[in-house]
Amino acid sequence: MARQSSRLLSMGYYHNDEEPLVSYKESPYRVFRRKRGRRHSGASTFSDMSSTSFGDDIGHLPASNWRGRNSFCMRFCQKRVFSLIFIILMCFGGCLYKMYASSRTRVSQGLGRPENMDSAGNEVRMMQAQLTKLQEDMAGADVKMMQMQLKELQEELLRLRNKLLPVADTMPNFALESQGATVPHYLSSETYHTQPPLVTFWGIPLWYPPANPRTVIQGHSSPLTPGRCWAFAGRRGHVFISLSHPVTITHVTLGHISSMQSPAGFTYSAPREFSVYGMKKVDGEATRLGTFVYDPNGESLQTFKLPGHTKGVFRFVKLQIESNWGHPEYTCVYNFRVHGTMPSVTA
């Protein structure tokens, strides 16, 4: 009769004839266990080991190993099932994405585009083109309007400039020293010095401030500077000018300070009646072009039109002062200009 385990006997693992229901093979090796915290002598250890049956030790091991193996199998099966479900879902999602991408490709290539979408796109493009053209037309109209306004402003500015500026400044001046005109001093009246000499010796004047007939052709514009003039003695005198070019003389300009600029309140030394002569040569015959009267209450620069401006082309001009406005000692000339056209321009 086989050895019986008291634990298995209490749990009912034996038949009535005291034979075991489960047969197992006992291990020939003894499992020794050492309790922690206690030291045993050799006799006591051997007695404990002898008192512990092999059946008890072996009976405990199979039950615990069986329960661990069952739990491991269950966990492994669950992981396999979840993995399989995840793979199936991934495959299904990939198929759906591929179908969606292929449908978009067909639509973009025009394989499945409806006709109403094409017509709507054409209408949108036509509206965009019309809008662009309208914007360009509006921009062009704005530019044209701005150009017209700018032209009107320029014309108005030119009118104001001509109105404010002297007429002499709007015409070419052929009696201008900077352009080549000259004054032969020996052919003009003697200069009268209105200012005291700068250098004297024993009461004898040696040097006066610079004042000569050249002053009248240096082109000083309005307003003229008081005292910056050429004066000759008495009321009658003349100045001889060599023009920069041979011209047909149409206008002359005579300049003097205005009455408002004069310290006396009136320009007594201003020329009153004067005449203009034209000559082709220095010692040639003088042609009288006109006689005029300077207004002391008018503008500083007064321009006069010659009635006989078609009498010929002249290279020299003589300004003859016949009288002044009452000064008994001298007469002053601030500016004299000759206007006309060159023969090459009129031809």
Share of the chain above pLDDT 70, in %: 65
pLDDT (0 to 100) of residue 19: 62
Say what the pTM is.
Answer: 0.52
- Higher-scoring residue by pLDDT: 175, 199: 175
Q: Give the highest mean pLDDT range of 74-83, 103-112, 194-203, 329-338.
A: 329-338
Quick one: average pLDDT of 118-131?
Answer: 74
Q: Kindly list the domain boundaries of the chain, sorted by start residue.
A: 1-26+39-113, 115-164, 170-346
Flag whether pLDDT at 75 surpasses 50. Answer: yes
281: left (phi over 0), alpha (psi -120 to 50) or beta: beta
Most trustworthy range by pLDDT among 96-100, 117-121, 276-280: 276-280
Q: For residue 97, name the pLDDT band (cuts at 50, 70, 90).
A: confident
H or E, element range at 248: strand 237-255
Topology, domain 170-346: Jelly Rolls (2.60.120)
Partners of 252 in the β-ladder: 304, 338
The least confident of 2-6, 108-112, 265-269, 286-290 is 108-112
pLDDT band at 293 (very low <50, low <70, confident <90, very high): very high
**Lowest-confidence region among 1-10, 146-155, 212-221:** 1-10
Would you say residue 68 has pLDDT above 70? no
pLDDT-derived band at 105 (thresholds 50, 70, 90) equals low
pLDDT band per the 50, 70, 90 thresholds, residue 170: confident
CA–CA gap between residue 313 and residue 166 (Å, rounded): 26
Instruction: Count Cβ neighbours within 10 Å for each residue of 32-51 and write b for 16 or more, e otherwise.
Output: eeeeeeeeeeeeeeeeeeee
Per-residue confidence (pLDDT) for residue 66, from 0 to 100: 46
State residue 339's pLDDT score: 94
Sort residue 39 into left (φ over 0), alpha (ψ -120 to 50) or beta: beta
Query: Left, alpha or beta for 180 (phi > 0: left; psi -120 to 50: alpha)?
Result: left
Average pLDDT, the chain: 75
Q: Is pLDDT of 46 > 70?
A: no
Residue range 80-89: mean pLDDT, rounded: 82
Amino acid at 271: P
Please confirm whether the linkage preceding 223 is cis (ω < 30° from 0): yes
Give the per-residue pLDDT at 61.
Answer: 43
Asked if residue 33 has pLDDT above 60, the reply is no
Q: Does residue 134 register a pLDDT over 50? A: yes
pLDDT value of position 29: 46
Which of 21-30, 92-101, 186-195, 268-277 ranks highest by mean pLDDT?
Answer: 268-277
Query: Among the listed ranges 140-154, 168-182, 274-288, 293-307, which one has the minimum average pLDDT value?
Result: 140-154
C-alpha span between 287 and 290 (Å, rounded): 9
